[in-house]
Amino acid sequence: MNVYYYRLLLSSGRVRSGVAQLSVERDSSARMWLEKNFDAVVLSLYRLPGWLAETQRSISHLVKPSIRPLELAGMLRDLGVMTSSGIPVMEALRAVANEIGEGRTTNAAKLARRLIEELDAGASLSDAFSRYPDSFPETVRNLVMIGDETGTMDKMLMESADHIERIAKMTADTRQALIYPAFVFSAIFAAGGFWIYYVIPNLADLFKQMNAKLPPLTIAVMTSSEWLIAHIGLILGGLVLAAFATWVTWRYSRAFRRTVHYTLHRLPIAKTIMFSSGLAFFTEYMSLLVKAGVDMVSSLQVMERAMQDEYYRDRIIAIRQVLERGDRVSSAMRQVGGFPSMMVRMIGVGEETGTLDSQFARLSAEYSVRLQRLITNLSEIIKPVVVLLAGGMFVFLIVALLLPVYDLVQQAITSPQF
């Protein structure tokens, strides 16, 4: 996939420019694609450098993803239902491409149109899917490839839809547990900003006018507020740059991601979450791939690219290397470590009885339930902790700022009147 900047002379006489992501190898193919789709003459065409193209793709995917997981699952399910009833893939894609939701073309329809263009150009369905890695996860691309090779495309499309829905549910459950604390912390920061920019400066002026003798804590809070107001531009700019640098480092430095993941696997609460989520995703992917008929080494190779947790990615690589020497999966997992004994024993039974796919499916269901329970319990524990933090901030503000005001009022009441 290459990214091009183009300028076109349209048939109406207007000049149009923009950026396009095209799954072509040669610039001449990109020129032909633009002329055909826009009915225009290409005035200029520049292929962006690799790093700039990757940055553009990352930002565009972050700001406006091509298709959401649930939309993709619905699209794949529609294709699976239609192909299972005997409708050719091309006709099924055309049906999806004509869908309109809320008065506009859906993301699934736009993606289906791009797939139709690939098929019209002579590509197979698996090749067309592989040219859009930002839209189709690698597991889906592998399943579609298997469907192309074995003639079971309808079954693989349905499996892909089920898989994406299960992964989306895991992700949604995790995010749901963070909604409440995120909301409360946002409210705390908003209240803190209001006090810093409005309340504290007014109180400071009042204390100066009345020559009040302030405690050290109040003086420290007022000094900190003045410093924050004076340097707010630099602080916000620094936070934005730090966030951008962290994002770039996270995306392009595997060593940084590995350090973060290994650190999280050592922290008390984070370790439990990373352990449960990592095993849930691992068993879900492996169950899907083994059930589809992918051999174990190839399945682990797919897992290496699909697994986001670098801690488990290193262990998957180690397991694959042991398997390539002729050892069994359960033995390799035992040697590598990081997997519970229950999982190792169940996989060992699956190898002995030829039911490895069903064992992975049982493990996937079990660890998915455990992850959901863990998230539910943590969300219940986090709520009182967040309330305590909010209450602590309120008490701090009362002690630091409102008590001196109360003392001033008391002095004004008790002072002699003339």
pLDDT at 399 over 90: no
Task: Say how far apart CA 361 and CA 368 lie, in whole Å.
Answer: 11
pTM of the complete model: 0.67
What are the tens digits of pLDDT across the range 276-309?
888 888 888 888 888 877 788 888 888 888 788 8
Q: Dig out the tokens for 24 from the structure.
A: 């072509």
Is the CATH number 1.20.81.30 carried by domain 69-168?
yes
CA distances from 94 to 68, 88, 90 (A): 20, 10, 6
Indicate the domain borders of the chain: 2-62, 69-168
Angle between helical axes of 216-230 and 200-209 (0-180°, round to 10): 120
Could you tell me the sign of the dihedral formed by the alpha carbons of 364, 367, 370, 375, in that order? negative
Tell me the pLDDT band of 58, cut-offs 50, 70 and 90. Answer: low
Predicted pLDDT of residue 242: 94
pLDDT at 331 over 60: yes
Dump the DSSP string for 251-306.
Answer: HH-HHHHHHHHHHHTTSHHHHHHHHHHHHHHHHHHHHHHHHTT--HHHHHHHHHHH
Higher pLDDT among residues 146 and 335, named by residue: 335
